Amino acid sequence: RKEVEQDPGPFNVPEGATVAFNCTYSNSASQSFFWYRQDCRKEPKLLMSVYSSGNEDGRFTAQLNRASQYISLLIRDSKLSDSATYLCVVNRAGGYNKLIFGAGTRLAVHP
């Protein structure tokens, strides 16, 4: 089982739609969670951290469910510019903490 698993997609949605991605992680001791965004042929960029209580940044909402070991990202009112690959990132707890990157979920927003 992979440490971080994501549905690769693609998710094809019209502008204005609401779309949600889930990501599951295997290490129950993980403490840090993030969502990154990666545009085609560009470097990954931090979208938002994910806090235990959930957090919101404009049209983006991130949630953490420790019991079921998954995090989610909700995008409301999708824009064409939201088209990208979204990477779920979790720290590998124990020993040297390192971040583990999921393979990503591709989102395509169309007019």
Partner 1 sequence: NAGVTQTPKFQVLKTGQSMTLQCAQDMNHNSMYWYRQDPGMGLRLIYYSASEGTTDKGEVPNGYNVSRLNKREFSLRLESAAPSQTSVYFCASSEATIYEQYFGPGTRLTVT
Instruction: For partner 1, give the closer residue by CB, 70 or 101.
Output: 101
Dihedral over alpha carbons 45, 38, 19, 67 (to 10 degrees): -60
97 is a site residue for partner 1 (CB under 8 A): yes
Distance CA 33, CA 3 (A): 13
Number of residues that bind partner 1 (CB under 8 A): 21
DSSP 41-65: TS--EEEEE--TT-EEETTEEEEEE
- Give min distance, CB of 7 to partner 1, in A: 13
98 is a site residue for partner 1 (CB under 8 A): yes
State whether residue 96 is helix, strand or coil: coil
Residues 62-91 that bind partner 1 (CB under 8 A): 87, 89, 91
E strand or H helix at 91: strand 84-92
Please identify which residue in 24, 25, 73, 104 interacts with partner 1, judged by CB under 8 A: 104
Interface residues with partner 1 (CB under 8 A)?
Answer: 31-32, 34, 41-46, 49, 87, 89, 91, 96-99, 101-104
